[in-house]
């Protein structure tokens, strides 16, 4: 009998969501056979079985959020009796029946009979609700309920004065947490009945003071995703949790009487202000004509009138403005015709979309492009074509040559091998090259090849093929998607002329390798004679962050890449 646990998929990954079980209870599972798929904030991964046997139990269903090390399933002997996977429990507001029914009530703050936090310390906490007025049974002597009832009187009690709680309308059952609806005290955490959230999402909620209950989750099972939270942040409607949060008692209290409007502040202020100087005007009747106070008297009221208008701290109606955040802005509504098809976005597509929008809003993108003559590279590719494929098992493309030239040029122009930190630039010593990989047109991943500054062309080519294959087969570890310092995206396989890529944050540049075609070029021999020849030519287009450096620096780097590609002895490099 072996337990299958949630694996550690990376140093920063603490939990994930099960998106799919490939085996069901009672199925035979082979060693290293794919058992389930897990989705984290970084990548979707297929997890193989650690042992061979029969899947006898499943403890976490599809859509469940599980922590690293948590037991998810059990694999045993074929004869072992299988246990069905647990069905997701529906949130419970109050149980239909309980061993200790109504009568246990919540004590008022400051009562000595019950602990703070909203529960009376009875042996059977589940199903405790606030008793309705007039329906409270007699408490047991010495119990916590008895202590609580000394502070909460029923409507029928005539002997003792009723506390404020007793005069309140009976709160709905869901206002008091039960054992099934326990609230998580940590900031940004969802309760056990709230949509599931990852640590990154909780941190975003806490950092921005957002209330999870105000955000509609678009993930599996209503899970609030990072893109959901950042959409709210970008919309500017910050639904702060503090003004919205209420205790069960507060939610059942009648609203306080509205403050009467300050009548003198508005319109009436102007006419009432001059009335003040008119009162002393009686005894000073003779002085009235002698002083210029006559004209100044109207001026005096106008002076206070200005502050009162400004002091229209009826702008304290601004506190009511936070109520607006309750309305979360959404995308414009789209009319769906009868023959239209609505295609939900998968996790990778959602994360790609969110990251691209964030990058465009964060960085001032600039494009620099140069035409490259690949004829020297093409001659080496043609000469080594058959032998290379026999030795390595894959074709020799232009991408490894470009990657090798970029790595060397980054050593000379280190500010492109950097990350932008707001008010500083972090220039990295190692060159960790991220390679953008298309996932069957369903999303984009950029796995990272670490330490490329110490690798030759052949090893770089192997690494590119390896990470691309594992990205498409969902075999990448989350840590392989982080730590990149410069990114290459290769659309040239489709014959593109030039594309404007989006920077992979927090990096400061990304290079697009576009299509290579045969075209006439002007060539010059050693004597300076010019002629027309047919060469393999393509464009390298680089998007860069203008906050990090300027156009001359970007152009000098790209020119250096061009020089290396066009002039290096690539045959000596490859062999």
Active site positions, annotated: 546, 550
Residues 67, 532: Cα–Cα separation, whole Å: 65
Other beta carbons within 10 angstroms of residue 436's beta carbon come to: 19
> Residue 127 in 3-state DSSP?
coil
| Contact of 19 with 29, CB cutoff 8 Å | no
The answer to whether 398 and 405 have CB atoms below 8 angstroms apart is no
Judging by DSSP bridges, how do beta strands 530-545 and 509-524 pair with one another? antiparallel
Farthest-apart Cα atoms in the chain, separation: 119
**Among 532, 442, 431, 549, residue whose Cα is nearest residue 488:** 431
499 near 478, Cβ under 8 Å?
no
Could you tell me if 495 and 515 are in contact, meaning their C-beta atoms sit under 8 angstroms apart?
yes
Of residues 21, 126, 12, 8, the one with CA closest to residue 68: 8
| 48 three-class SS | strand
Helix 269-278 and helix 293-310: axis angle, to 10°?
Answer: 140
**Rounded Cα gap, residues 565 and 561, in angstroms:** 6
Distance CA 398, CA 495 (A): 13
Angle at 430 between CA 413 and CA 482, to 5 degrees: 115
Could you give the strand order of the β-sheet that contains 65-67, starting from the edge strand earlier in sequence?
44-48, 34-39, 15-21, 65-67
Q: Which two tokens stand for residue 237?
A: 């409607």
């Amino acid at each position: 009998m072996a337990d299958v646990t949630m694996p550690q998929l990376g140093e920063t990954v603490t939990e994930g969501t099960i998106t799919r079980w490939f085996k069901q209870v009672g199925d035979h599972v082979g060693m290293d056979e794919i058992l389930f798929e897990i989705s984290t904030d970084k990548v979707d991964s297929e997890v193989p079985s650690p042992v061979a046997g029969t899947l006898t139990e499943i403890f976490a269903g599809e859509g469940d959020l599980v922590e690293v090390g948590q037991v998810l399933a059990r694999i045993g002997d074929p004869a072992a009796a299988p246990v069905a996977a647990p069905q997701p429990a529906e949130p419970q507001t109050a149980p239909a029946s309980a061993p200790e029914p109504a009568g246990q009530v919540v004590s008022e703050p400051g009562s000595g009979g019950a602990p703070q936090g909203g529960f009376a310390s009875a042996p059977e906490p589940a199903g405790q609700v606030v008793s309705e007025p007039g329906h409270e049974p007699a408490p047991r002597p010495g119990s916590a309920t008895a202590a609580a009832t000394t502070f909460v009187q029923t409507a029928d009690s005539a002997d003792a004065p009723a506390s404020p709680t007793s005069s309140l309308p009976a709160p709905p059952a869901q206002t008091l947490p039960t054992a099934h609806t326990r609230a998580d005290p940590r900031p940004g955490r969802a309760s056990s009945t709230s949509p599931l959230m990852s640590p990154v999402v909780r941190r975003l909620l806490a950092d921005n003071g957002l209330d999870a209950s105000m955000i509609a989750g678009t993930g599996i099972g209503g899970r609030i995703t990072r893109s959901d939270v950042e959409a709210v942040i970008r919309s500017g409607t910050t639904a702060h949790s503090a003004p919205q949060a209420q205790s069960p008692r507060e939610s059942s209290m009648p609203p306080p009487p509205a403050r009467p409007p300050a009548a003198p502040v508005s319109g009436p202020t102007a006419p009432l202000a001059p009335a003040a100087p008119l009162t002393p005007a009686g005894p000073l009747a003779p002085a009235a004509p002698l002083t210029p106070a006559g004209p100044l008297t109207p001026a005096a009221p106008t002076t206070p009138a200005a502050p009162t208008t400004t002091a229209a701290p009826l702008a304290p109606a601004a506190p009511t403005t936070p109520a607006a955040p309750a309305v979360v802005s959404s995308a414009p509504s789209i009319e769906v015709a009868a023959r239209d098809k609505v295609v939900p976005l998968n996790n990778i597509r959602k994360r790609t979309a969110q990251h691209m929008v964030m990058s465009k809003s964060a960085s001032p993108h600039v494009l620099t492009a140069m035409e490259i003559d690949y004829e020297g590279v093409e001659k080496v590719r043609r000469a080594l074509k058959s032998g290379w494929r026999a030795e390595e098992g894959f074709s020799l493309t232009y991408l490894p040559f470009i990657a090798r030239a970029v790595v060397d040029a980054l050593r000379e122009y280190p500010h492109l091998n950097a990350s932008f930190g707001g008010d500083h630039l972090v220039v990295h010593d190692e060159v960790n090259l991220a390679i953008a990989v298309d996932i069957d047109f369903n999303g984009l991943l950029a796995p990272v090849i670490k330490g490329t500054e110490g690798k030759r062309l052949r090893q770089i080519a192997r690494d590119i093929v390896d990470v691309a294959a594992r990205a498409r087969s969902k075999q990448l570890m989350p840590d392989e998607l982080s730590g990149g310092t410069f990114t290459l995206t290769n659309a040239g396989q489709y014959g593109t002329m030039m594309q404007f890529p989006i920077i992979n944050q927090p990096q400061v540049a990304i290079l697009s390798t576009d299509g290579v075609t045969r075209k006439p070029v002007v060539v010059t021999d050693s004597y300076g004679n010019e002629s027309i020849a047919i060469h393999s030519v393509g464009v390298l287009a680089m998007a860069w962050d203008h906050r990090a450096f300027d156009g001359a620096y970007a152009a000098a780097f790209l020119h250096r890449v061009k020089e290396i590609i066009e002039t290096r002895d690539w045959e000596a490099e490859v062999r």
